[in-house]
Chains A and B, each alone.
Chain A
Amino acid sequence: QVQLQESGPGLVKPSETLSLTCAVSGYSISSGYYWGWIRQPPGKGLEWIGSIYHSGSSYYTPSLKSRVTISVDTSKNQFSLQLSSVTAADTAVYYCARVYPGITVAGARFDYWGQGTLVTVSS
């Protein structure tokens, strides 16, 4: 069974960099698929942040592209999110997910999700 688990600080100061890691078990990242990050501000809807292929090709939502980096570490079977220059608007539950490939870029559907981790941006 594929399982994903997010980890990282729950509190980040404004202007600093948010860093999260997603550990994958039950499936080898290097075997394929995209791996993605999605966030959800409190009481609001879902926002796709970006996805990375196991080979390292990455895609980001345009509104965050200048601040986001997603990387993959196949040796540890995990992938990571870095979001720089955070503000209160970046406060959200952050989910990692496996992304089933499709014929379009960045993958098709999110078929396995982590439980999510709340990151609060506050001084």
Chain B
Amino acid sequence: DIQMTQSPSSLSASVGDRVTITCQASQDISNYLNWYQQKPGKAPNLLIYDASNLETGVPSRFSGSGSGTDFTFTISSLQPEDIATYYCQQYDNLPTFGGGTKVEIK
């Protein structure tokens, strides 16, 4: 299995702050990396696919970058509605998810 290590596991930031989450793969996965947002009691929602492509309808304050083993997910200006847990997911081999990052408002 390809292991995905996300950090931090949780963070607290103020509205308007820039928020960055990292995801590291246990081996080279090219750009086969997606990011999801999950709000409490809801199904995950795809935000970014293929490391840096914004899914249709997703606000432009969300972005992703990286390739190989190291990836970054950024919220350029945190909004109250962004409170959620974020997950990375690789598909270089059979899909696996990172452990998640819970984002809270300070």
- Chain A residues within CB distance 8 Å of chain B: 36, 45-48, 51, 59-62, 95, 100, 102, 104-111, 113-116
Contact = CB atoms under 8 A, between A and B. Distances in A.
Contact of B43 (A45, A104, A115): A115
Interface stretch (B13-21, B66-74, B76-84, B85-93): B85-93
16 contacts: A36-B95, A45-B87, A45-B100, A46-B89, A47-B97, A48-B89, A48-B94, A48-B97, A62-B1, A95-B43, A102-B91, A106-B95, A107-B91, A107-B95, A108-B32, A113-B45
Contacts of B43: 95, 113-116
B58 to A, nearest CB: 12
Given A45-B99, A104-B32, A109-B89, 19 more contacts: A45-B87, A45-B98, A48-B94, A48-B96, A51-B95, A60-B94, A95-B43, A100-B49, A102-B32, A104-B93, A106-B91, A106-B95, A108-B32, A108-B91, A109-B49, A109-B50, A109-B91, A110-B36, A115-B42
Interface residues of B, number: 25
Name, among A46, A104, A106, A113, the residue most crowded by chain B CB atoms within 10 Å (CB to CB): A46
Interface of B: 1, 32, 34, 36, 38, 42-46, 49-50, 55, 87, 89, 91-100
